[in-house]
Structure formats: C-alpha cells, structure tokens
Chain A
C-alpha cells in the first residue's frame, strides 16, 4: 500500500519534519522548523544547518537504507530533534520532533503547535506537568483540610466546655430541688396531695438529671473516672483482647512483676494506651516475631529524658511497663517524630496512636518514650506513678486529737461543705433529722477553719466551689484527721488524679437515702 500525503498534512503530523533530496539539500520542511529555525532555508545543504549525532551527516544521508533512528542538533541554535530517517528513491524524510522537557513548558518559546497531534511524548509530558500541578494543589487542599479540622476541634472543645459547665450548674439546681422535695416529703408526706406533688417534682428532677447526663456525655465529659488500678490485674484480665491485637503471627510474652501495685488511671485510657503500643509493635513486624510485655516497679525519676519538675521530683517509685518487639526498628529521624500528632510512617496510619499514648502518660503524671535500633527492634517504655496509699500524718492540736469524733451525746459529727445555700440548708436539716451533729460551711475556707477546731467522723463536701475546692478540702482534712470519712458530691465526675483511695463519690442530684447509706456505712 502506498500512501501519499501533502507537505501540509505531513507538517500537521510532524511539524518539525525535514526532507533531504539526493543532493543532500533541504527540499521541504515543517512549520515548526520555519518558526524556530528561521535561518534554515529550502535548498540549503542539510549539513550546513544540522549535525547528525554520531554520524557524518553526508555519509548518513548517502548510505542510509529503509528506516533508521536519527538525532539532529541545529548548528546555530540549541535545538535538538529526534525521530526516524525514512530513506526512499527521491531522498530521505527526517520524521523528527523537537526534544521536549518539563522545564521547557514554562521557559521555551515553543508551544503545542510545534508538536504533532498524535505525538504520545507530548501527551505524556503534559500529563506529568498536570499531575505535578495537581499535586501542588492537593498539598494546599491537605493544609486547608487540616486547618478546618483544627477549627472544628477547637469549636467542639469550646462547646463541650460550655455544655459541661451548664450540666454542672443544672445538676446543682436539680440537687437543691431533690433535697428540698425530700424535706417536703419528710415533713408533709403523710398528706396524700402533698405526697403526690412531691412525687411529680421528684420524677421531673430525675428526668432533668437524665438530660444533664446526656449533655455531659455529648460534651465529652469524662464518664470513666480515674481510679486506683492494679496494672498487672488489668493486663491479666485483658489478655484475650491483647492477644487478638497482636495477631496469630506474633507471640506475646508476659512478665508481670508490678506485684499488684496500683496507679490512678482511667481503665479504658490505660487499656487503649497498651493496645496502641501493641499495634505499633505489631506493625513493625509484618512477617511476625515476638513482643515482650513486662511490668516492674522502678525507683527514681519517672521521666525518660531525665526532666523533672517539682511534683515529679517527689515521686520515688513508679510502675514501668515495657513493650519490646523484634521488628524492623526505627531510624533516628523517625524516632524523633514518632509521638507527633498526625505523623505516621505507615501508609494508612492516622498518627494518633502514639500521640494519644503520650497524652495519657502525661495526664497521669508519667511518661512514655521509645528506644530503637534499625533491624533490631523497638522498645516502648511507659512509666506511671505508683499510688501512695497513705497520706502522711500531720499532728493535730491536742484538743482536737483527744476530743474524739462523736459529740457529747454520741452523735456522729459531719463537716458539711456546700456553697449553694439552699442545698446546704436542706442537707443540714435532713442530716440533723437523722441524728447527726452537722457543722455547715459555705466554703472550703470555712471548712478548713472548722477542721482546725474540732474533730469529725465524716467530711461531706461539694467539689466545685469558688476558692478552695472540695478535693483540696478533702486532702487537707485527711492530713489533719486521717480517720475522717470523705464523701465528695458533684455534678461533675471529678477529673483528677488527686482522688485518694477510700474517698466516696456521689453524683448530683443525689438521693437522700443513698447519702445516708454512705454516711452510716
């Protein structure tokens, strides 16, 4: 089959083509040559305008047969062409195209018109340039998304805080309603009509309490309270979960030597921290291996970097948990960023696992860090402060120390601290009616004065109060009068590692019966 094309048609397919006749002169050329090599003219010897790379130009054109690859360089200007030389009886068609690079897109005087419509190189180069542009835009997108997420998180946090405050205050109001309806019931409950009204009010207060509970859940208020927990016991009780986290290809070896010593932690937060560390170890061993999970009691500085602060300096013992894997290990660069939020070396990693472990450790007063050697594995160290079981005794005045807790009539003495006057009044009345000797205080400061003047069996205190708060009062009360029973009451679940073992907690709005049960227990 013989196909015949006009110069114009060939020029559309190959804008930089050249035709060389038998005399080795240029006999035709494409529009690209005209645009970019204006000194090249019809009739000019090819060798005068171009060098053929690796060949003598005249010899190549004279001796060539059939189709041969060819590269040309213009003599007077830095222009490269490449393609095929097609030899035929009337001469040679140089079916060549301008060499193109990505950089030329921005800098060159050439444009798409200088390249053939079916030129696959130009299409693929354009694709590369486009994808690079999209990558730049995607990076900008990613930054915008991260900022948007941060804004949402901030807003959620602010909203949560406001919702938490509202729930707390509402619980306090409900508590006053609850306590005063109990008073009504005690005094006038025999009247059927009043008794019925009391029931309605109490039911409504209970519904209100459910609403505040939902509000607190929605506002992400901590519902899982920190409590003294035996680290070994938690690990032991959850072996099934931990085993399934590491998977069948990895053996999990346990050495628990913390001897049931306790830390004040949230159960679920502690378990999550362990799971995150195990996931990290598992991911480092795609082909399987071994993880050694151990616990022990350590003495000295709790922090990995040797940093200490005033509180930490007093810590003399901690529970050390180690999770050592036999995985690929981490480079120094990776190690230095491992705890950064949203940083992950894994393709599908969120970068939140180790960051959340660090948050947990720091919030608990401990620390977490990694040690790693490439090819040898990584060990995670999680140190948590051990709960001090007994508060140090402080001498109380001899009058107080010898007074004994109960009053002259043998009544139990209750130090009651509540900044809400109606709740205080209702509680005093209810407790006195039950035969207790009550010392009411409207603030933490008043309570501390009372503690210095008298001995008490029970401290019953609100938690959130202006000035000295309830946990501070309780701590001082335990120092001054170690045998005192502490009952905290609040609309919040206290979020504090300062809670001591043996302290009791009542969620507001509370039922009188429950309170009396706790006092008498």
Chain B
C-alpha cells in the first residue's frame, strides 16, 4: 500500500497510545521515515506487519485493528492534505461511494503502481445501499467495513453494515443508515 496509509496508521497509534508506542513499533519492525513516504508504494506484507504490530499494542485482533483503521483512515484523509478532494468526491454517503472509483482513477494516475479497489453501488434507496467491493487483494474485508463505517461518520449517519455475499474477488455490503441531522 502507499505510504500515506502508513502515515495514517502512525497517527492512529499516536492518538491511541502515544508517540512512544509508535517509536517502539518502528524499532521492532526496523522501519523509520523511509517507510512512511507518502507517494511510495510499499509491499502489502509490510503494511500488514505494521497493522499486526499495532494490533498487539492496541490489544486488538488484526481484523479489529483493520476495521478501526479503515474508520480512522476516512477521518485522517478528511482532515489532512486530501480534505478538499475528499469533499469534492461526494457530499453525501451515496454520492461519495458512487464516485469512489473516479477518485481512485485519479489516485492511480498520481501513484502508478498503487493497486486500487473498485466499488459499485448495486442498489440505492433512501437509507439503504448495496455496495459491491472488488479487489485482487484478500483479507481486507474488515478494513473496507471500517471505511464504510468511517464514511457514515463523515456524513453524520448511523446505521449498520453487513456482509451479504462473499465472492472470489468481491464482497457485497448491505448498508442501512439514517441521517443523524
């Protein structure tokens, strides 16, 4: 994954456990600023090592950490240098998800080598979405669930996300939500 993801993970560990915890993680994995270069695409194995190490420190399972991190990533991207492009991608949950592929198209152009997923809205009704996630990668279902939860948070919605189907390269998420405002 690209370095900005690692930077977000660092920020999450900072916020949850403090800077010392992240420095200890860096020392354990023998990584440093060169593994946090924003535009650099790193091997997924490194990202998963970081997540596993963070999970041990957060006292969570790897899946729980991935889900928490997915939720955190939306907040991180929305507050940092990507905030304007996040805003432009969509101004409500349905439109944001519908436009995610277009955002990823631009990200892919800016970071050649990044392996980006595809999202398709298969059903859309007020308060209900069925979203298909497609990726060559495996094992990221909790991260995507966390992302969708993070998007609900971003648009002040509350609700539930369920996996309704798991295919070889795709997962269907059923999202039922209500706007809080």
Contact = CB atoms under 8 A, between A and B. Distances in A.
A2 interface: no
A109 interface: yes
Interface stretch (B48-56, B66-74, B105-113): B105-113
A111 B36 contact: no
- Of B3, B39, B83, B99, the most chain A CB neighbours within 10 A belong to B39
Contacts of A138: 37-39
Interface stretch (A82-90, A122-130, A460-468): A122-130
Contacts of A123: 102, 105-106, 109
- How many of chain B's residues touch chain A, expressed as a range? 20 to 34
A148 interface: yes
B159 interface: no
B20 to A, nearest CB: 15
- Of A122, A132, A138, the most chain B CB neighbours within 10 A belong to A138
Interface stretch (B84-92, B127-135, B143-151): B84-92
B101 to A, nearest CB: 9
- Of A105, A113, A148, the most chain B CB neighbours within 10 A belong to A113
A111 B109 contact: no
Contacts of A133: 80-82, 84-85
Given A111-B87, A126-B85, A148-B33, A134 B106 contact: no
Given A111-B90, A111-B95, A144 B36 contact: yes
Contacts of A148: 32-33
A234 interface: no
A82 B82 CA distance: 28
Interface residues of A, number: 28
B88 A141 contact: no
B7 interface: yes
Interface string A90-123: 0000000000000011101111110001000011
A130 B87 CA distance: 13
A131 interface: yes
- Of A117, A130, A131, the most chain B CB neighbours within 10 A belong to A130
B84 A111 contact: no
Contacts of A134: 38-39, 81, 110-111
B169 to A, nearest CB: 23
Interface string B22-45: 000000000011101111000000
A112 B90 contact: yes
A130 B85 contact: yes
- Of A104, A127, A141, the most chain B CB neighbours within 10 A belong to A141
A136 interface: yes
A420 B142 CA distance: 69
A117 B98 CA distance: 11
A109 B82 CA distance: 17
Contacts of A129: 84-85, 88
B85 A105 contact: yes
Interface string B106-122: 11011100000000000
Nearest to B98: A113
B38 A105 contact: no
Contacts of B103: 112, 126
A76 interface: no
A394 interface: no
A128 to B, nearest CB: 9
Interface string A454-495: 000000000000000000000000000000000000000000
Nearest to A132: B81
A58 interface: no
Contacts of A104: 88
27 contacts: A104-B88, A105-B85, A105-B88, A108-B88, A109-B91, A110-B88, A111-B95, A111-B99, A112-B88, A112-B102, A112-B103, A113-B90, A113-B95, A113-B99, A123-B102, A126-B103, A129-B88, A130-B107, A130-B110, A131-B110, A133-B81, A133-B85, A134-B38, A134-B111, A141-B37, A148-B32, A148-B33
Interface of B: 3-4, 7, 32-34, 36-39, 80-85, 87-91, 95, 98-99, 102-103, 105-107, 109-111
Interface of A: 104-106, 108-113, 117, 122-123, 126-127, 129-134, 136-138, 140-141, 144-145, 148
The 5 closest A-B pairs by CB, nearest first: A137-B38, A133-B81, A106-B84, A126-B106, A112-B99
